[in-house]
């Protein structure tokens, strides 16, 4: 499972559990909160009505006096109220009054007059000087029919409790408000949960992308490819820079070790030839007479091997400079046709010495983006390599053609071609083939340099045998954007 998915799933579980717990708490608190507010209102109402009913109660006309008339008239009043979107047309209060023994002496609903209410908490507690309230269902088989009752004491002139007045209101009157509040809490809770999950998804995607970029970079470095630290930010940026520093140091150390080993191996043969020739030239002329022709031959051998060493070192330095570059610092538009003209001008002395001719077959203008100097040196290496293998009197063909969305630059010769076993190793460092006619091998660095330059420009180099005899060395480069 990918790290981004694991992070998101963990975040989802935490947010979901938190959201569920908070929703349950909020939803569970809505109903008690609304009922507590209603109870507070009923307390005020009961005490106000108790004061208004005192005179009629003490005068013995609580059921047919002015108070009773006004309370019964309340049931006929059209309230015409609009409370936060909910209409209210009639009062839902029930008011009843009991005497000191808990017997109902007035009931605005008219149904329980004369009944004993002394056992109900609202009446029982109030008659004993305590706060009396209860919530009871009107119908035992319907838990949703609960009614809240709040009582207040009726006092005589001496402050003694002589009765109680209870105001009752069905809890279902608050149901629309409770349902709307719970719906609002639930709706916004789901919105916040969705936003939290979206944020979590975005954060998980961002973290996964940063890690994936660093992983791809590490894998590219492991494969030996040119790779730059990915565009990551924050701590991931610091990690990318640390990886790049570590890669550069490790590669530098390994690079030096490999090159020292390869260079010493390749230098053994020319150094041995130089040493042998020098020993013969320094030998005792009386013991082993040496003619002028032999001295010239050995001196020429020393010169050729010295030149070979110098050429090897120069090419090795050029290759090392290219291999350590991860990108082109200042790429510019390069006209391939003009570049080939410059290459032929530089290679002209060698071509004339080998008795070769060269032609260019290219469109009027082909533009790539890169380093003109490096591309010129790479193409010159291809031409010089073809010159070494082409027979005298033949011609090299430099061909530029569109290929796979880029341009392919080919150097074709009519030499002996490349053995099948060497095709896969031609671009290895220090790998070379014997030249025709017994010529000495090259440094084996030219084609390796070509491959590195091509890769640095986002292209590739290849070598194949040509139909009809000879070889085709090519370099594919991407065209400049918009060219």
Position 116 scores a pLDDT of 94
Asked if pLDDT for residue 222 goes beyond 90, the answer is no
Under CATH, what is the fold of the domain 3-179?
Answer: Beta-Lactamase (3.30.450)
Confidence of residue 128 (pLDDT cuts 50, 70, 90): very high
The predicted pLDDT at position 38 comes to 83
Can you give the pLDDT at residue 266? Answer: 54
User: Over pLDDT 90: what percentage of the chain?
Assistant: 23
pLDDT the model gives residue 191: 81
3-state secondary structure of 220: helix
Q: What integer pLDDT is reported at residue 449 of this predicted model?
A: 80
pLDDT tens, position by position, 76-111: 777 777 776 666 777 888 999 999 999 999 999 888
Higher pLDDT, 295 or 94: 94
The answer to whether residue 286 scores a pLDDT higher than 90 is no
What are the CA-CA distances from residue 47 to residues 1, 39, 123, 166, 304 (Å)?
68, 12, 14, 9, 124
Q: Which of 215-229, 392-406, 452-466 has the lowest mean pLDDT?
A: 215-229
CATH class of 328-483: alpha beta
pLDDT more than 70, % of the chain: 70
What's domain 226-326's architecture? Answer: Orthogonal Bundle (1.10)
User: In the chain, what are the domain boundaries?
Assistant: 3-179, 226-326, 328-483
In this model, does residue 430 exceed pLDDT 90? no
Query: In this model, does residue 244 exceed pLDDT 80?
Result: no
- pLDDT, average across residues 113-132: 94
Q: Between residues 151 and 283, which one has the greater pLDDT?
A: 151
Per-residue model confidence (pLDDT) at position 122: 94
Give the model's pLDDT for residue 290.
63
Give yes or no for residue 180 having a pLDDT over 90.
no
User: How confident is the model over 252-278, as a mean pLDDT?
Assistant: 59
Sign of the C-alpha dihedral, residues 39, 41, 44, 50?
A: negative
What's the mean per-residue pLDDT of the chain? 79
Distance CA 252, CA 257 (A): 9
Query: Tell me, what's the pLDDT at 237?
Result: 67
Where does the pLDDT of residue 264 fall: very low under 50, low under 70, confident under 90, or very high at 90 and above?
low
Average pLDDT, stretch 413-425?
87
Distance CA 321, CA 332 (A): 19
* DSSP structural state of residue 427: T
The reported pLDDT for the residue numbered 131 is: 94
pLDDT tens, residue by residue, 34-57: 778 888 989 999 999 999 999 999
Distances (CA, A) of 25 to 19, 227, 261: 10, 54, 74
Residue pair 229/241 in contact (Cβ under 8 Å)? The answer is: yes
Greatest mean pLDDT range, 72-81, 151-160, 310-319 = 151-160
Q: What is the helix (H) or strand (E) element at residue 249, kind and residue range? A: helix 235-281
Summarize the confidence of residues 201-214 as an average pLDDT: 76
| Higher pLDDT among residues 246 and 181, named by residue | 181
CB-CB contact of 116 with 124 (8 Å): no
Per-residue pLDDT tens for 340-378? 988 888 888 888 888 999 988 888 788 888 888 888 888
Interatomic CA distance for residues 124 and 108, integer angstroms: 20
How much is the pLDDT for 118? 93
């Amino acid at each position: 499972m990918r790290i981004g998915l694991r992070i998101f799933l963990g975040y989802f579980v935490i947010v979901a559990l938190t959201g569920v717990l908070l929703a349950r708490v909020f939803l569970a608190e809505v109903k008690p909160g609304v009922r507590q507010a209603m109870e507070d209102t009923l307390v005020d109402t009961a005490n106000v009505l108790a004061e208004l009913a005192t005179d009629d109660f003490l005068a013995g006309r609580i059921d047919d006096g002015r108070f009773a008339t006004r309370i019964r008239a309340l049931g006929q009043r059209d309230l015409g109220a609009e409370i936060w979107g909910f209409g209210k047309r009639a009062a839902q209060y029930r008011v009843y009054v009991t005497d000191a023994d808990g017997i109902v002496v007035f009931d605005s609903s008219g149904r329980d007059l004369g009944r004993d209410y002394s056992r109900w908490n609202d009446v029982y507690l109030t008659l004993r000087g305590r706060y009396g309230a209860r919530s009871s269902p009107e119908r035992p088989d319907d838990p949703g029919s609960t009614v809240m009752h709040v009582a207040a004491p009726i006092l005589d002139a001496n402050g003694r409790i002589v009765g109680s007045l209870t105001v009752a209101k069905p809890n279902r009157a608050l149901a629309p408000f409770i349902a709307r509040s719970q719906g609002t809490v639930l709706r916004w809770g789901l919105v916040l949960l969705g936003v939290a999950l979206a944020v979590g998804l975005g954060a998980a995607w961002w973290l996964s992308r940063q890690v994936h970029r660093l992983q791809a970079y590490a894998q590219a470095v492991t494969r030996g490819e040119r790779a730059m630290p990915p565009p990551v930010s924050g701590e991931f940026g610091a990690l990318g820079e640390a990886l790049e520093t570590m890669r550069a140091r490790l590669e530098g150390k390994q690079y030096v070790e490999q090159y020292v080993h390869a260079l010493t191996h390749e230098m053994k043969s020319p150094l041995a030839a130089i040493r042998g020739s020098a020993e013969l030239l320094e030998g005792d002329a009386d013991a082993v007479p040496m003619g002028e022709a032999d001295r010239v031959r050995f001196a020429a051998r020393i010169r050729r091997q010295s030149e070979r060493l110098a050429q090897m070192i120069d090419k090795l330095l050029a290759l090392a400079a290219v291999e350590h570059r991860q990108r082109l610092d200042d790429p510019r538009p390069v006209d391939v046709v003009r570049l080939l003209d410059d290459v032929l001008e530089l290679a002209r002395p060698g071509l004339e010495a080998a008795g070769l001719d060269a032609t260019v077959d290219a469109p009027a203008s082909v533009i790539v983006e890169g380093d003109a100097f490096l591309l010129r040196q790479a193409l010159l290496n291809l031409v010089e390599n073809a010159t070494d293998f082409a027979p005298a009197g033949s011609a090299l063909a430099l061909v530029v053609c569109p290929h796979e969305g880029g341009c392919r630059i080919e150097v074709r010769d009519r030499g002996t071609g490349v053995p099948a076993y060497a095709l896969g190793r031609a671009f290895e460092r220090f790998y070379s083939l014997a030249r025709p006619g017994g010529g000495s091998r090259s440094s084996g660095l030219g084609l390796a340099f070509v491959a590195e330059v091509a890769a640095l420009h986002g292209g590739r180099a290849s070598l194949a045998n040509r139909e009809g005899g000879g070889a085709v060395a090519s370099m594919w480069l991407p065209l400049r954007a918009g060219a």
